[in-house]
Amino acid sequence: MLRFVLLLSLSVPVLAGPIVPAPPTINADAYLLMDFATGKIVVEHNADQQLPPASLTKLMTAYILAEEIDDGRLSLDDKVPVSRNAWSQNPTFRGSSLMWIEPGKDVTVQELERGIVISSGNDATVAIAEHIAGSEEAFAGMMNGYARELGMTDTFFVNSHGLPHPDHLTTARDLAVLAVATIREHPDRYRVYREQSYTYNDITQYNRNLLLREDPTVDGLKTGYTSVAGYGLVASAERDGMRLVSVVLGSESTLSRTAETRSLLNYGFRFYQTLKPLAAEVSLGQQRVWKGVVGLVDGGVLETPSITVPRSNKEPSIVAQFNDTLEAPIARGDEIGLVKVILDGEVVLERPLVALKDVPEAGFFARLWDALLLWLSGLFGDSK
Predicted local confidence at residue 9, as pLDDT: 43
Confidence of residue 312 (pLDDT cuts 50, 70, 90): confident
CATH of region 30-251: 3.40.710.10
Confidence of residue 318 (pLDDT cuts 50, 70, 90): very high
Rg (the chain; Cα; Å): 27
The one catalytic residue among 120, 236, 251, 263: 120
289-299 pLDDT, tens digit per residue, is 877 788 899 99
Structural contact between residues 175 and 181, judged by C-beta atoms closer than 8 angstroms:
no
CATH of 2-14+277-380, one of 1.10.10.10, 3.20.20.150, 2.60.410.10, 3.40.395.10: 2.60.410.10
318/163 Cα distance (integer angstroms):
52
Helix (H, G, I), strand (E, B) or coil at 230: strand
317 is catalytic: no
C-alpha neighbours within 13 Å on the C-beta side of residue 100: 10
350-367 pLDDT, tens digit per residue, is 999 999 999 887 766 556
Smallest Cα–Cα separation from 33: which of 150, 175, 155, 148?
A: 175
Whether residue 10 has pLDDT greater than 50: no
58 is catalytic: yes
The one catalytic residue among 55, 88, 246, 251: 55
The rounded percent of the chain whose pLDDT value lies above 70 is: 90
Instruction: Tell me the C-alpha to C-alpha distance, in Å, between residue 101 and each of 56, 74, 114, 257.
Output: 21, 19, 12, 29
334-345 pLDDT, tens digit per residue, is 999 999 999 888
pTM, 2 dp: 0.86
Backbone conformation region of residue 314, classed left if phi is above 0, alpha if psi is from -120 to 50, else beta: beta
Domain boundaries, the chain: 2-14+277-380, 30-251
117-155 pLDDT, tens digit per residue, is 999 999 999 999 999 999 999 999 999 999 999 999 999
Q: Please give the distance of CA 38 from its chain centroid, rounded to a whole number.
A: 7
Long-range contacts at 203-211 (CB < 8 A, ≥ 24 apart) = 203/100, 205/99, 205/118, 205/119, 207/118, 208/120, 208/254, 209/233, 209/235, 210/254, 210/255, 210/258, 211/235, 211/237, 211/258, 211/261, 211/262
